[in-house]
Amino acid sequence: MSIIINSSSRIAVQGAAGVEGQFHMSEMIKYGTKIVAGIDPAFQTDKVGDLDVPAYTTLKKAVEEHNADTSLIFVPAPFAYDAIMEALYCGIKKIIVITEGIPVNDMMKIKQYTKGSDVVIVGPNCPGLITPGECKAGILPGHIFKKGSIGVISRSGTLTYEIVQHLTEAGLGQSTCVGIGGDPVQGSTFVDILKQFNADDDTKAVVMLGEIGGVEEEKAADYIRDHFTKPVAAFIAGKSAPPGKTMGHAGAIISAGKGTAEAKISALKEAGVAVAVIPDDIADLIKSELNK
């Protein structure tokens, strides 16, 4: 099993006319992902570039013609809100937003619109997600992932790649790896993804990669303590970051004494999570947790 995406997912790419979108579409197709359509108002052709993928100017037509059930968004930030809303209006239930720099107010409106629904939004400002051996939706380097039973949730793309490499080299394959993004307002939080992993019989343990800023890691610690039934190992980046400075991601800012690495690490440890001092420790920690 897996969460969110699998070999049956039928993905439409919004923003498919751009160089970045087409490059990553090609990489996803090579991985085995079912890309059923590319959408961009600029298209004046039936195919997306040199790819054997149908091109459309609207998502509605792609959904009607190819039964797309997942949208992957590469649309530039000023137009991303409209692209996400188009996907929602077309009945798409799984939306993965790679775009960086979407205004916070736009994401707040989207979160309010989808509140209480069964829509899953991953991102924005994220690398996407992957179910190894089945489906890659985003910009992740597929060759480092290995099919297995470790779920991964991360705010950082490059940190995900580093730790997944350690897991794979240690023989610890992954069920699904989800990059939730580093923006202040996320489509899916740690808790949202933890709930899905908790319900997935084939995910035996979870690796959680957080960073300074916000309180989502602390909320995750509360959920893990009270509800999560599987081993968790974590790493929190940003222990040396000075207060009041934005470090990397838009959401990685410490303010009013909240969002520090120390607070997150403390909350996770109190919830029974094994917290790594350095990323290299994660594989050994999760092995130890599985053997308890």
pLDDT for 250 beyond 60: no
Q: Average pLDDT of the chain? A: 93
pLDDT at 188: 98
pLDDT above 60: residue 244: no
pLDDT digit string (tens) for 170-191?
A: 999 999 999 999 888 999 999 9
Going by pLDDT thresholds of 50, 70 and 90, the confidence category of residue 238 is confident
141 vs 292, more confident: 141
Q: Does the active-site annotation cover 249?
A: yes
Residue 96 has pLDDT above 60, yes or no: yes
The domains found in the chain, sorted by start residue, are 1-125 (3.40.50.720), 141-292 (3.40.50.261)
Statement: residue 241 has pLDDT above 70: no
Mean pLDDT lowest for which of 75-84, 223-232, 240-249? Answer: 240-249
Average pLDDT over residues 268-282: 96
> Using 50, 70 and 90 to split pLDDT, how confident is the model at 213?
confident
Measured between alpha carbons, how far is 123 from 178 in angstroms, rounded to an integer? 9
The confidence score (pLDDT) of residue 181 equals: 94
The yes-or-no verdict on residue 4 having pLDDT over 70 is yes
Check residue 189 and give its pLDDT. 97
Catalytic residue (choose from 24, 66, 166, 249): 249
pTM beyond 0.85, yes or no: yes
pLDDT in the model for residue 205: 98
What's the pLDDT at 259?
Answer: 77
With a cut of 60, say whether residue 215 has pLDDT above it.
yes
Query: What is the pLDDT averaged over residues 40-44?
Result: 94
Mean pLDDT, to the nearest integer, of 86-111? Answer: 97
* Under 8 Å between Cβ of 214 and 259: yes
Q: Confidence class of residue 253 from pLDDT cuts 50, 70 and 90?
A: low
- Stretch among 84-88, 125-129, 221-225, 250-254 having the lowest mean pLDDT: 250-254
Residue 262 has pLDDT above 80, yes or no: yes
Residue 242: pLDDT band (50, 70, 90) is low
% the chain with pLDDT above 70: 93
pLDDT digits (tens, 9 = 90+) for 48-57: 999 999 999 9
Q: What's the rounded mean pLDDT across residues 280-287?
A: 96
